[in-house]
Amino acid sequence: MPSLSEYVNVYDSVLEVLRKKDFRVWVDEHADMFCAEKDGWDFMAENPISLLGLVALFEYLGPDTYKEYWWKLEGPLDYQTLPKKPPDYIPIWKK
């Protein structure tokens, strides 16, 4: 069992993290999407956990101006070629 999974019982904690990061958060009922905004940067996702993931990408990259594909980051991992099984590891609760 994972230490944490994407599930509705995590939503409130995630929303509180976003609030403490000074994001304004709301639900766009027309689009049925969760939204966040701070300093003119706005984000939209299907659930609060995904919303926090987008904010994390924004914070990691730290763009100072908007440009097309500002979020694009190249690296060795690729969505299409991810391994189909986890690497060998020992979960923290078994250490």
Tell me the helices (H) and strands (E) count for the chain, helix number first.
2, 3
pTM, whole model, 2 decimals? Answer: 0.86
pLDDT band at 68 (very low <50, low <70, confident <90, very high): very high
Half-sphere exposure (Cβ direction) of 90: Cα atoms closer than 13 Å = 4
Task: Provide the 3-class DSSP secondary structure of residue 36.
Answer: strand
pLDDT band at 65 (very low <50, low <70, confident <90, very high): very high
Taking residues 36-45, report their average pLDDT.
97
Taking residues 2-31, report their average pLDDT.
95
Report the alpha-carbon distance of residue 37 to residue 22 in Å, rounded: 9
Please determine, for residue 14, whether its predicted confidence score (pLDDT) is greater than 80. yes
Taking residues 45-66, report their average pLDDT.
97
* Residue 73 near residue 79 (C-beta atoms within 8 A): no
Domain residue spans of the chain: 1-63
Taking residues 69-78, report their average pLDDT.
91
